[in-house]
Structure 1
Amino acid sequence: MSIPPPSGPQQPQDPYQPPQPQGPYAPHPQGPAQGPYQGPAQGPAQGPRQGPHGGPPYPVWGQGYLPLSRPAPVNGVAIAALVLGVLCFLPAVGLILGIIALLQIRRAGERGKGMAIGGMVLSSLGLALWVVMLATGGASAFWEGFKEGTGNTSLSLAEGECFDVPGDTFHEDVYDVDKVPCSGEHDGEVFGTIPLSGTSYPGDDYVTDTAEDKCYPLQDTYAMDPWALTDEVDIYYLTPTRDSWSWGDREITCVFANTDERGTLTGSLRADETTLDADQLAFLKAMAAVDEVLYEEPEEYAEEDLQANQTWAGEAGDVTGEQAEALRGHTWPADAQTAVADLVKDMEDAAGEWAKAADASDVDAFYEHYDNAYDYVDGDTTVTAREALGLATTPPTYEEDSESGSGSGDAGGLDV
C-alpha cells in the first residue's frame, strides 16, 4: 500500500533545525508519539542539534521506503481474442473472448484493451465473411476444393496396392481411399503410376490423353497374362484436376476395377517377374509377342486395302514362326513338355497360313488363309499348355474396335 504524503503545502525546512520526520512514526502534533516505538521522554528544547566540534547538523535518515512501481499484467483472454481474430479461425469465439477480456480488464485493471478490441474487430470481419460465403455457396465450393486438393495427397497409392473407396460405388470423383489387402475383396488395384511435370496445370485433355496412352503399356507389364483379366475387370485412371494440381498433385494412377460400379475384385491380378516362375514367363512372353502383331491388324478390310492386309499377314507369320521356335528351344518341366510341343506345332501351322495369306492373289484367297490361321489362335492346344503351366485357362473375350485389345471394356477416367 502506498503511503500518502502529508496534507497541506510542503514548507522548506530551516537549515539549522533537524529535518522533521515524514514517515509513519513522526511525532504527533499534540504530544509525544504513543506508538510501540516511543522513545524516552523529551525535555525542553535544547536548541539546534550540533554535529561534532560544533559543526553543521547531521543529516537525518528516516524518510521510509517507497513502494516499487510494477506494470499491470496483460490479460490472457485478450491475447487469445487477438490470435483468433488474426487467424480468422472460429470468428464467433474470438468475438466473445474479446468482450470477456474487456470486462476482466476493467474489473482487474489489467492491460490488453487494444488487443481485445483488435481481436473483436477482426473476428467480426471474419464472421461477416463466413455469413456471406454460406449465403452464396462459397463455403461449399471452398470445402470441395479443399477436399480435392488434399484428397490425392492422402491417396499416396503405389503399384501393387489395393484399396476401397468410400461409399457404395466407384464414383467419378475420388477424394480419399482406404488401403486393404489384395487377397480379399477390394474396389481397385493399382498397376502403375505416371508422374507429370510442369508448374502449371496442362489441361484436362492432356492429362486424359496421357493416361490413355501410358496406362495400357503398364497394364501389359503388370498383368502379363491377359487371360487372367476376366470380363469383369476394367481399367480406370485417377487423374489430377486443376484444383488438386495447385496442392501438389502431379501423378496419374492406373487402376484395375470392376466393370460394375458396385462390384469388387478378389485377389491380386499381378502377374510379372515377382509372381511368375521362369517357365510361365517364357510362355507368356512368346504369346505376348504374337498378340502384339495380331493387334496391329489394319482398320481397313482387305476389300478396301488388300496390300496393307497382306503386309500385316506376312509380319504375323514371321512373328508366330519365331515364337514357335523360341518355345521349342526352351526346357520345359516333364509334365508340360507334351502340351507345349503340341502348341508349337499348331503355331508353325498358323505361321504357314499367314504366309499364304500374304501371298494371296485376291481377297477371297486372302480370307481363306486368314481364317485358317486364326483357328489356331487361343485354340485347344493353347488351353492345354496353359493348364500344364499353372496359368489361367479361360480365353478372354475380344471385342471389335476395342482400344485395349485385352478384352477389357473402355477405360474410365476418375478425377481426384
Structure 2
Amino acid sequence: MAIPPPPGPQQPEGQYPPPGTPPHPPAPYPQYPSPQGPFQQPPQSPYAGPYQPWGQGYSPYNRPVPFNGLAIAALVLGILCFLPAVGLVLGIVALVQIKRRGERGKGMAVGGMVMSSIGVVLLALTVATGGARAFWEGFEDAAGGSGGSAFSLEVGECFDTPGGSLKGLAIDVDKVPCTGGHDAEVFADFEMPEGDYPGQDAAADEADRRCYLLRNTYAMDSWAVPGDVAVYSFTPTAQSWRTGDREVSCLFGNADEESGLTGSLRNDQLTLEPDQYSYLSSAAAIDDALDAIPDTEYIDDDLPGYKEWADDVSEALAREADGLPAHRFAPDAAKLVAALAKDLERSAKEWAKAADAPDADTFSEHYEKALKLIDPKKTVTTREALGLATTPPVYDDGGGTGSGGEGGPGIEV
C-alpha cells in the first residue's frame, strides 16, 4: 500500500532537496577586493546545490561597451573640415554598425555627419565662386618652385636658393653670411603700385628697369663690381598679389649661376669713408646722366634727342665740377680731385657745344672731345689715393657703364 505524499504542492520525483537542506539556495556572494589578488571568491557554501544561481559571474568591473571606430573618424574629419564627403559617409556607416553591434558613439557619428555636411556645403560654394581655382593655381605655383612658404628678404642679406637658380619660381631661400659664397645679394627693394596684377612679363620688365637704376645706390663704386655680376629680381606672383604682396627685391647674382658670388658687393654711405662717399656720389650723378642716352643707334636718327641728352650731361658735369672741391678731401687726394674737377668743367663746355650743334657731324665732334676729358683712365690715380677700386669698368656703346652686367630675368615669389 502506497504512502501518500505530504501535504503541499507536488514535486517531480528526484527534485526534492536532501533532508536538512535549507528551503532556498543561498544568495551569491559578491566579489570583493583582497590583498591576495585582484578579486577573491569566498569559500563555496556546503549547502550549495548542483546548479548555479542566477547572476553567477556578473561583476560590476566588466569592460564597458566599446566606441565605434568609424564614429570617431567621422567626428575628427568633421572637426578638421578635411575631406567632408568622406566624413559624411563614415558617419552613416558608423550608425549602421552601432545599431547592429550595440556599440557606443552614436553622438560622435551624428556630430561628425553634421559638421561634414557643413563642410560639403562650403566646398560647393568655394567651387562655385572660383575660390578652389585660385587655391589650385597657388598649389601648382608652389609645386613648380623650390621651397615651402613665402619669404621676405632685407637689403644687405645674402642667400642660396634650394636649386641654385635665380630664374623661375622661388618660394623659399636659405639665408647665409655674405662673407662666404652665396647665390645672390639683395641690394634694393621697392613697392609696385596698387591695382590689378600686371602679368608676369610686365612685372619682370618693371622690376628690371627699377632695379637697374637702383644698383649704384648700393654698390656705389661700380668699378668694384665684377664684370660677371648681373641684376636679378624677385617679383610677386598672381597669387601673392591677391594677398596684398607688392614688394620687389633687387638682387645681384652671377651671370653664370653655377659660379655664384663671394663676399658682399655693398659699398654705400654705411660702409664708405667720407672722402670715398663724396667722390662716388659725384661720379654716380655723372653716370646717371650718361646712362640716359637715347635708345636710337645713330645720332642722325634722333638728333634732337641727343642734343637734349648732351645738355643734361653738361649740366651734371658743371654741377659736380663745382661740388667736388667744396668737400675737404685728405691732402694726398685733394690736389688730384681738384685736377679732375677742372677736366669735368672743360668737358661740360664741350657737351654744351654738342647740345647746340646744327647737325650730327658737329655733334659727334664735340661729343668725342667731351668723352676724352672724362676718360675713366684719368681717374685711376685719384681712386688709388682714396682707396677705391682702380680697374675701369667696361662701357657700352652709348657711353654708359656696363659694370654690373645685364638685367637678368626676374624671379616670382
TM-score (norm 2): 0.67
Partner Cα distance (1:143, 1:292) in 2:
42
Within the alignment, does 1:115 sit opposite 2:109 as a pair?
A: yes
Give the superposition deviation at 1:90.
12
Q: 1:224 aligns with which of 220, 225, 230?
A: 220
Partner Cα distance (1:348, 1:376) in 2:
9
Partner Cα distance (1:395, 1:254) in 2:
24
Tell whether the 8 Å contact from 2:313 to 2:348 is kept in structure 1 after alignment: yes
Question: What is the CA deviation profile of residues 285-304 of structure 1, one whole-angstrom value per residue up to 9, with x for unaligned ones?
Answer: 11122222222233454434
Distance of aligned partners of 1:174 and 1:365 in 2 relative to their CA distance in 1, 3 Å threshold: same
Structure 2: unaligned runs, 5 residues or longer: 1-20, 28-59, 121-134
Q: Which amino acid aligns with 1:271?
A: N
User: Match for residue 313 of structure 1?
Assistant: 310
What is the correspondence of 1:5-404 to structure 2 with a 5 Å cutoff? 74-75=67-68, 78-84=71-77, 87-88=81-82, 109-112=103-106, 115=109, 143-147=139-143, 153-196=149-192, 198=194, 201-246=197-242, 249-300=245-296, 301-360=298-357, 362-400=359-397
Question: What is the CA deviation profile of residues 242-296 of structure 1, one whole-angstrom value per residue up to 9, with x for unaligned ones?
Answer: 2333455432221111111222011111222211121111111111222222222
Partner Cα distance (2:397, 2:174) in 1:
36
Stretch of structure 1 that moved more, 183-192 or 147-156: 147-156
Tell whether the 8 Å contact from 1:402 to 1:410 is kept in structure 2 after alignment: no
**Based on CA coordinates, which of the two structures has the bigger radius of gyration?**
1
Partner Cα distance (1:210, 1:275) in 2:
29
Question: What is the CA deviation profile of residues 214-258 of structure 1, one whole-angstrom value per residue up to 9, with x for unaligned ones?
Answer: 323332322222222222111111112223334554322211111
Partner Cα distance (1:262, 1:90) in 2:
47
Give the superposition deviation at 1:167.
2.0
Stretch of structure 1 that moved more, 274-283 or 290-299: 290-299
Tell whether the 8 Å contact from 2:333 to 2:386 is kept in structure 1 after alignment: yes
Distance of aligned partners of 1:168 and 1:340 in 2 relative to their CA distance in 1, 3 Å threshold: same
Stretch of structure 1 that moved more, 333-342 or 232-241: 333-342
Distance of aligned partners of 1:155 and 1:345 in 2 relative to their CA distance in 1, 3 Å threshold: same
Partner Cα distance (1:236, 1:402) in 2:
23
TM-score (norm 1): 0.67
Tell whether the 8 Å contact from 2:354 to 2:363 is kept in structure 1 after alignment: yes
Tell whether the 8 Å contact from 1:105 to 1:113 is kept in structure 2 after alignment: no
Partner Cα distance (1:402, 1:168) in 2:
34
Tell whether the 8 Å contact from 1:79 to 1:115 is kept in structure 2 after alignment: yes
Partner Cα distance (2:388, 2:286) in 1:
17
Partner Cα distance (1:111, 1:254) in 2:
59
Tell whether the 8 Å contact from 1:82 to 1:94 is kept in structure 2 after alignment: no
User: Match for residue 21 of structure 1?
Assistant: none
Q: Which amino acid aligns with 1:380?
A: K
Structure 1: unaligned runs, 5 residues or longer: 1-29, 37-66, 127-138
In structure 1, the residue corresponding to 2:168 is in which secondary structure? coil
Distance of aligned partners of 1:313 and 1:243 in 2 relative to their CA distance in 1, 3 Å threshold: closer
Give the superposition deviation at 1:333.
0.9
Q: Which amino acid aligns with 2:206?
A: T
Stretch of structure 1 that moved more, 163-172 or 253-262: 163-172
Give the superposition deviation at 1:72.
6.4
Partner Cα distance (1:311, 1:201) in 2:
35
- Once the two structures are aligned, what percentage of the paired residues are identical? 43
Question: What is the CA deviation profile of residues 102-156 of structure 1, one whole-angstrom value per residue up to 9, with x for unaligned ones?
Answer: 889976743338729967xx7xx99xxxxxxxxxxxx997743445799685321
In structure 1, the residue corresponding to 2:251 is in which secondary structure? strand
Tell whether the 8 Å contact from 2:333 to 2:385 is kept in structure 1 after alignment: yes
Partner Cα distance (1:110, 1:375) in 2:
95
In structure 1, the residue corresponding to 2:406 is in which secondary structure? coil
Stretch of structure 1 that moved more, 102-111 or 176-185: 102-111
In structure 1, the residue corresponding to 2:373 is in which secondary structure? coil
Partner Cα distance (2:305, 2:87) in 1:
76
Tell whether the 8 Å contact from 1:383 to 1:393 is kept in structure 2 after alignment: yes
Q: Which amino acid aligns with 1:218?
A: L
Stretch of structure 1 that moved more, 89-98 or 109-118: 89-98
Tell whether the 8 Å contact from 2:98 to 2:106 is kept in structure 1 after alignment: no
Tell whether the 8 Å contact from 1:162 to 1:181 is kept in structure 2 after alignment: yes
